[in-house]
Amino acid sequence: MGLFAKKTEPDTQAVLTGPLPFDQIGTALAALAGAGESGAIEAVDALLVQAALHRASDVHLEPWDEGVSLRFRIDGLLHEVASLPVRHHARIAGRVKVLARMLTYQKDLPQDGRIDPEASGCGKAVRVSTFPTVNGEKLVLRILNPDPNLFDLDVLGFDADTTDALRGIVTRPQGAFLLTGPASSGKTTTIYAMIREILGRRGPSTHVVAIEDPVEYRLGRVSQSEVNSHAGFTYEAALRAALRQDPEVLVLGEIRDPETARTAIQAGLTGHLVISTIHSGTAAGVFTRLLDMGVEPYLAASSVVGVMAQRLYRRACPDCAETALPAPRERLRCGIADGAGTLRAVGCPACLGIGYRGRAALGEVLMVDEALEGLLLTRPRTQTVHDAALAAGMVPLFEQAARCVRARLTTPEELERLFPAPGAGTHREE
């Protein structure tokens, strides 16, 4: 064991058993990496264990002149953990590349690899990518969390109406349901939860085909396939092949070209439930995007049963959040009653001083009813669709976030981070 483990007698395994404060992680890793031949092996094990214990989704290792920056992405935000001595970088990077079965000598071209759960030391699979920078080789490690409990509509954090709407969608025999939202807004997790719900209700009598890029989690009883554009196995080609496979439910990672859009929307009219994501700012904007991609209005109107725009917000840490009176501007923005307090993030050992712990989802759901179907035939502008949806009861993302502030699940600052007020400038860093 390394120096760090030796000097704290009862805690020789501390770096492998419990989450350490950020400053101690840096000390422990530097001590391990500098200790003997097997030092790099133990350092990388400890690094991945600490990342997993801190619920980090990504680990960044980036060499600079003054040191190797180690950062964890936790609940969607990057946090600086430590600066490691530059002399350890080559050994740590080399060990990661061995585990990920990469070419260790290849440092001037990017590489992709994967570490199996058995080899990672933290029990989770890790996707590794390298990137040559002017300062040396940068590594990003994505920790894949296989916890099946994540894929449950009841634990994603949606409000009851949104959860009910999603449950209603999965009982439909046919139609298209489209999710939209920025990268890392939890769309894939929502889709996996919907698939689990479908399998739980209909069991083996349902054939689900999922086409993804890449497949991140293996789901039992689902025909999961990975696109391979270099070999011509594009989303469009995979979708056409999947339709010949007698599916009831088709899951498509993303609709990003006109051909795939038309085929997917058509499939929703011919006895398939199609679930996919599409790039658009809002739920209402999804229809404009479909029409821009050449989908006929009557097809979009009759095939799409609903769309949802999704975001994730960070929950205030229940162990340390304090109550404070919001600033007048925040009070107005979030619709908080005069004199009522809101939560303020503080920071404690349980949340590593971040003040937030865990994330929950917000969903702006737009269900297509008869009135909207008629409206869509007129090629309406996005704002017209949005207004019609609001009139029909859609709760926009911002209002959902404001409700979470009022319900003391999160802070006005977190709402501001997700939905910056016009003219408020860029958000502050924690």
Chain residues binding Zn ion by CB under 5 A are 317, 319-320, 348, 350-351
Smaller CB separation from Zn ion, 307 or 409: 409
Residue 203 CA, chain-centre distance (Å), reads: 27
Closest distance to Zn ion from the beta carbon of 347 (Å): 6
Shortest spacing between CB 318 and Zn ion, in angstroms = 8
**Distance from the first to the final alpha carbon of the chain:** 35
Q: How far apart are CA 426 and CA 80, in angstroms?
A: 20
CB of 351 to Zn ion, least distance (A): 3
Q: Which amino acid is at 203?
A: G
| DSSP code for 296 | -
| Least Å from the CB of residue 346 to Zn ion | 7
CB of 53 to Zn ion, least distance (A): 16
Helix segments in 244-395, DSSP class H: 258-267, 285-292, 297-303, 328-334, 370-376, 382-391
Q: Which amino acid is at 45?
A: D
Nearer to Zn ion, 292 or 319 (CB): 319
The conformation of residue 233, written as its DSSP 8-state character, comes to: B
CB distance 225 to 209 below 8 Å: yes
Calpha distance 93→47 (Å, rounded): 12
Specify the residue, 331 or 344, whose C-beta has the smaller distance to Zn ion. 344
Could you tell me the smallest distance in angstroms from the CB atom of residue 365 to Zn ion?
Answer: 32
Question: Across-strand partners of 62?
Answer: 69
Q: Kindly tell me which of 32 and 317 has the beta carbon lying closer to Zn ion.
A: 317
Query: Which strands make up the sheet holding 136-143, listed edge to edge?
Result: 77-84, 67-74, 56-64, 136-143, 126-133, 112-115
Rounded to the nearest whole angstrom, what is the least distance from the CB of residue 357 to Zn ion in the complex? 6
407, 340, 418: which is closest to 160 by C-alpha? 407
* Alpha-carbon gap, residue 104 to 209, rounded angstroms: 37
Nearer Cβ to Zn ion, position 20 or 178? 20
Of 340 and 350, CB closest to Zn ion:
350
Q: Which is nearer to Zn ion, 53 or 348 (CB)?
A: 348
